[in-house]
Chain A
Amino acid sequence: MSEAAIKIEDLAKRYRIGTRAASYKTFREALTGLVQAPFKRLQTIRQARRGEGEDTLWALDGVDLEIRAGEPVAIIGPNGAGKTTLLKVLSRITKPTRGRVELRGRVGSLLEVGTGFHPELTGRENVFLNGAILGMRKTEIERKFDRIVAFAEIERFIDTAVKHYSSGMYVRLAFAVAAHLEPEILLVDEVLAVGDADFQKKCMGKMDEVGREGRTVLFVSHNMTAVKALCSSAVLLRDGKVAAQGDTIDVVKEYMSQTSMGGAAERIWKRENAPGNSVARLLAVRIRNAAGDVCADIDSQQPFSIEIDFENLDDSALLGTTVILHNEEGECVLSTLSNNDPVWHGKMRPRGLFRSRCEMPANLFPDGRLHVSAGIWGDNYKWGFQESEVVTVQIHETAGSVRGDFLKRMAGVVRPALPWSSGPIGRPAEQPEPTTR
C-alpha cells in the first residue's frame, strides 16, 4: 500500500488575528465605519486580501506532504506551529487560503473529546448525539452501542444524565464513542491526555490498533512518549512549514535539539529598565545545561543550573537570591534561597555585578516545563522582589530515565530516582531467584 492517502501541496492558511483580538465586529461599527471612512476601510480590506496587513498570521505557510495509506504519522512541533490548523483544514472545518489537498477515503476527525455532549441528556442519548456529530450513521451507532458502553466501562450509568457523571466517566464515554469511529483516515489532536492511567493505556491501545488495521492516522501530540510508541514516522512543523519529516525517533530528536518548546533559556534586562530597587537590580536569569551551554532543553538525567545576574548598588546591604519553580499546572515545585551560599551569605557585598548559581541535581524533575521565577532579597529577608516566570526549562525524559518502562502518566511534581529493593520475607535458605520470561 504505497498509494498516498493524503497529498498536500503548498497548503497555506491565513488568519486575521486583528479581528480576533479586537473581539467581534458590531454591525453598527461596520456601518459607521463605512460611512466615515470608506476609503480607509477599502484599503484595509485590500491589504487583508493580499495578506499584507499587520494583523494577519500565516498559521500554515506552504506545507507539502504526502502520507501513505495505512501509516500512523505523528505531527509534532512547538505551540503555534500550525499542527491544529493543519488538522482543521484536513477535516474541512476551515478552508485553506492557498494550496490543494487530496484525501483518499472517509475522514474522521477528533479534535476534542465529547464535542456536542449535552449535560442534561443521558449517557445513552449522548452516545447517539455525539456519534452523529462525528459523522456516524444511526445504524452504525446502534450496532456499536454495546461495545462503546463496554469500552467506557459505564454500563450502570448509561441511563443517567451525564451532568451527574464524574469527569473521568464523562471523558471515558466521550472517548469511547470517538474510538469507534472507523474512517479510513483518522485525524487526532492531543486527546489521549485524558482520563486515569488505566484508561489512557486503553486509549493508547485503541490508537495502536487503529494504526495496525491499516488505517491512516494523523496524530498531533506533545507527548513524545506516546508519539514514539504509536507512530513509526513523524512530521515536524515549525512556523507553518514542514521542518523535518521521517523516522519518528530522528524527527523527535531533531525537534528536541533545536526547540526550546516555547521555553526561553535566558532573560536579560537592560540596566535602565531592570527590575529592582535602590539597593539591587536583577540583570539576567539563565539556564545552563550540564555542558555549561545556555539551553532550555534539559535531559532529566542530567543536572542543570540556574544563574541569576544582579547588580549591587549599596555596599551596606546584605543580599541574597531566590529561585522558585512552578510546573505547567501552576503548582509550586520548589523554592530555594541562596542562604546556604558558603561565601557570601550574611556578608556585605561591594558594589558591582554578581552572579549567583543554583545547581539542580539530575533525576529530580519529571518531563514537562518548569517556569522559573527569580528574585533578590536583602537585610535578613526584610525586603525582596521577584520576577515571575522569567525563563522556562523544558525537561525531557530519555531512555533510562526514572520512569523506566512505565509509559503512562505519572503523578507528582518531582520524580527523584529513589532506590527500590525487594526480597522474600521467609527463611534465607528458601530464597527464590527471580526468573525472566
Chain B
Amino acid sequence: MAAGSLKKVDLFLGRDQIRDVHKASTTGPQVRILTPGRDWITLGLRELVEYHELLYFLVWRDIKVRYKQSVLGAAWAILQPFMMMVVFTVFFNRMAGVGSGDIPYPLFSYAGLLPWTFFAQGLAQSSSSLVGSAHLVRKVYFPRVVVPMSSILSGAVDFALAFTVLILMMAYYGVWPTATILFLPLFALLAFVTALGVGLWFAALNVEYRDIRYVVPFVVQLWLFVTPVIYPAATVVPRLEGAGLPGWLYGLNPMAGVVEGFRWTLFGGNAPGPILLASTVSALVLLVSGALYFWRVEDTFADVV
C-alpha cells in the first residue's frame, strides 16, 4: 500500500543520478571512530584543508551579504579609514603637532589605518562569529575554526578597496613605492595572523562568557592607541631606550610591527628589524595559544552556544 504510492516518484530520477551513486560507492568506505577524547590538533588542521571550500563559501557569503544590504556598499570600506584619516590629520597633526617625518601626515596615517582597520574589523567580527553562527554550530558539523577565520578573511575585500584610495593618495602626494612593496603581502598576513590569534581567544571565550562582547570594543580602542597608527614608532622607541629598555619591546604589540612594516614597504626607509622580529614572534604566540585554547574547548561549543 505504501510502496505503491511511493513508486511513482521514481520517475523523477534520471539515469545520471544512479551513476553518481555508483561513483560514490567505489571510493571505498572510510572508517571513523568517535570517542569522548579530543582529536589530535594535527587532525584538526587536516580537516581545515578538507573543508577549505566551506571557508571559501562563508567568506563569499559575508562579502555578498555586506554589499547587498548596504546602500553605499563599497563606499563604506573607503569612507571609514578615510574619515579617520581626516580627523587624525586635523586633531593630532595640525592641532597637537604630531609629526610624521618625511611623509605627509594624511598619507602616513592612512597607510597605518589600512592594516589597522583590517585587523580591528577582523577582530570584532571574529569575536562574535561563533555566537552569531550558533544556528550552524548546533545543526551541522564542520571544523569550528572556519567560522572566525572566514569572518576575518571577508574583510580582505574592504582592505583591497581602501587600498585603491591609498594608491590615489600616493599619486597625489607624488610618493612612489620602492621595491620593498613586494613585502607588503607578508605584513597583511601578519595582520591576519594577529587578528586570528586574538579572534580565536575571544570567539571561544565568548561562547562561554557572553560579556566578552563588551570587552572587545574596549580592547580594540585601547589597542589603537598603543599602535603606531596616529604617531610613528620613532616617538616611542627612543623613550623606551632612554629608560634603559630595549626598543624591540614595543614590538611585543604585533600590530606595531604590522603598521610600521606596512609603511616601510610603501615608503621605504629603515627596515623595522627588531620590532618586526618581536611582533612576528608575538603574533605567532597569540595564534598558537589561541588555536590551542580553541581546540581545547571547541567540542563543547554545540552544547553551550
Contact = CB atoms under 8 A, between A and B. Distances in A.
Q: In which size bucket is the chain A interface?
A: 35 or more
B36 A96 contact: yes
B31 interface: yes
Contact of A182 (B21, B215, B303): B21
A107 B139 CA distance: 14
Interface string B1-33: 111011111101110010011001100011111
Given A27-B212, A209-B9, A92 B34 contact: yes
With a 10 A CB-CB cut-off, give which of A26, A93, A128 has the most chain B CB atoms: A93
Contacts of B53: 132, 137-138
Contact of B6 (A102, A183, A204): A204
A205 B34 contact: no
A122 to B, nearest CB: 9
Contact of A94 (B24, B60, B210, B302): B302
A405 B29 contact: no
A144 B23 CA distance: 14
Contacts of B30: 104-106
Interface stretch (B62-70, B107-115, B273-281): B62-70
A194 to B, nearest CB: 15
A112 B134 CA distance: 13
Contacts of B135: 115-116
A206 B9 contact: yes
B215 A27 contact: yes
B142 interface: yes
B259 to A, nearest CB: 29
Interface string A76-102: 000000000000111111111111111
Given A121-B61, A121-B64, A129-B57, A201 B9 contact: yes
Interface string A202-235: 1011101100011100000000000011000000
A26 B210 contact: yes
Nearest to A111: B139
A88 B208 CA distance: 20
B173 interface: no
Contacts, number: 161
Interface in A352-373: none
Given A92-B34, A184-B25, A133 B136 contact: yes
A104 B141 CA distance: 17
B293 interface: no
Contacts of A101: 33-35
B140 A208 contact: no
B142 A91 contact: no
A396 to B, nearest CB: 17
B204 to A, nearest CB: 12
B44 to A, nearest CB: 12
B139 A93 contact: yes
Interface string A242-282: 00000000000000000000000000000000000000000
A100 B32 CA distance: 10
A315 interface: no
B8 A205 contact: yes
A186 B30 CA distance: 15
A101 B60 CA distance: 35
A186 to B, nearest CB: 12
A26 B209 contact: yes
Contact of B12 (A132, A135, A151, A407): A151
B299 A94 contact: yes
B9 A105 contact: no
A111 B137 CA distance: 12
B138 interface: yes
Nearest to A98: B36
Nearest to A96: B36
Interface of B: 1-3, 5-10, 12-14, 17, 20-21, 24-25, 29-36, 53-54, 56-57, 60-61, 64-65, 68-69, 135-142, 205, 208-212, 215, 299-300, 302-304
Interface of A: 5, 15-16, 19, 24-28, 30, 88-107, 109, 111-112, 115-116, 118, 120-121, 125, 128-129, 132-135, 137-138, 143-144, 147, 151, 182-184, 201-202, 204-206, 208-209, 213-215, 228-229, 405, 407
